[in-house]
Amino acid sequence: MTHEQLYGVAPEGTWTAPGRVNLIGEHTDYNDGFVMPLALPHSTTATVSRRADGLVRVHSREIAGPPVDIDTATLAPGSVGGWAVYPAGVLWALREAGHEVGGADIHYTSDVPVGAGLSSSAALEVVTALALSDLYDLGLSREEISRIGQRAENGYVGAPTGILDQMASACCTEGHALHLDTRDMAQRQIPFDLAAEGLRLLVVDTQVKHAHADGAYGKRRASCEAGAAALGVPALRDVPFGELEAALARLSDEEIRRRVKHVVTENHRVERVTALLDAGRVREIGPLLFEGHASLRDDFEVSCPELDLVVEASAAAGALGARMTGGGFGGSAVVLVEEDAAEVTGKAVSDAFAAAGHTAPRIFTAIPSPGARRLPVR
């Protein structure tokens, strides 16, 4: 169905926002730390036209049923459920931030896998906020659009997530990984042309669905905050890597100690990966990816058997590096391989899944793609 068939009017424009993988820097964003995502070619696209009556109607090609009506006048957390919670959350967050937004008809199409840890919800939030900002002349910056998406996620959807996914979707650029300091939001686009190096980054979607509105993610965040408080710092970002041992010695709670260790070492890994990429030593980031996975598995405890199996099977097949990506508890992993070993590695992972009795994984290549934008009229 086209926008016109659905709503009886032509769209005023088309906007798109991608999903992402995070190369390194996991569970660091809500600790004021560093992340390094890249945008995927998979994206969520929205055609939009304004309405005069203040009503917002949303429809997704991927979901059966008629458009969902969102009454912006009565919007409150809990007033909209199902997939429409994300656009509703964006409308709510825009209103909370004092932005005047009128009605709209919105038709979404998406090829970002849902529940795969590839930021399908951030893509939906960012494309909605960007389109409404353009159509209603809000003049929001990329950072403000990301904050609106995060506010929607935290205050409306009820998932206590950080800013990584929205900033990745809004700010990544083609051919680059984004080095982001989540404290001051300083960004640096780092050239990431793996094909030119004879390399490939595979994404392995384990098909184990994850969710962030449940308790485990929030518990990790609370432990990090408790750790920072016990150490007397505003955030774990403020614990220098060189002082990690001394900091750990001051923490009496064993679990918090491991959470702190992950965050501090992970921030350090982002900086080491950045230095290697800057020096053109791309292959050498591999061991840091393996190290990051072990830290997420053992110290932060957000992996799962399927993600661990991707990493183990890839390593056994000779991959340069591999790690889970995103929040964890399911979702996807990234695997860095020599281009000519991509097929063999993918097969080794699929075979290992079959042997373990797991659902077959979905495997594709991560090509660093453009961030959110308005598409030219065709």
14 interacts with ligand GAF by CB under 6 A: no
Q: Give the C-alpha separation, 270 to 318, whole Å.
A: 23
CB 147, CB 182: distance < 8 Å: no
With respect to ligand GAF, which residue has the nearer C-beta, 227 or 346?
A: 227
> Taking the CA of residue 128 as centre, how many other CA atoms within 13 Å lie in the half-sphere pointing to its CB?
36
205 tagged catalytic? no
Chain residues 30-69 in contact with ligand GAF, contact rule CB under 6 A: 30
> Candidates 23-31, 69-77, 275-283, 334-342 — which segment interacts with ligand GAF by CB under 6 A?
23-31
CB 251, CB 231: distance < 8 Å: yes
Q: Which listed residue (16, 60, 161, 274) binds ligand GAF by CB under 6 A? A: 161
The residue count for binding ligand GAF (CB under 6 A) is 12
Please provide residue 354's backbone torsions phi and psi, each rounded to the nearest 5 degrees.
-60, -45
Strand, coil or helix: what is 81?
coil
> Candidates 76-84, 162-170, 250-258, 271-279 — which segment interacts with ligand GAF by CB under 6 A?
162-170
20 interacts with ligand GAF by CB under 6 A: no
Alpha carbon 17 to its chain centroid, in Å, reads: 12
Q: Which listed residue (149, 327, 330, 346) binds ligand GAF by CB under 6 A? A: 327
Give, for 287, the enclosing helix (H) or strand (E). Answer: helix 286-294
Q: Which listed residue (32, 105, 125, 165) binds ligand GAF by CB under 6 A? A: 165
CB 313, CB 352: distance < 8 Å: yes
Closest distance of CB 368 from ligand GAF, Å = 18
Instruction: Return the closest-CA partner of residue 200 out of 294, 338, 301.
Output: 338
CB 13, CB 131: distance < 8 Å: yes
Q: Is 223 annotated as a binding residue?
A: no
101 interacts with ligand GAF by CB under 6 A: no
Known binding residues are 26-29, 60, 115-121, 153, 217
Catalogue the active-site residues.
165
Which residues contribute to the site for ligand GAF (CB under 6 A)? 22, 26-27, 29-30, 161-162, 164-165, 212, 326-327
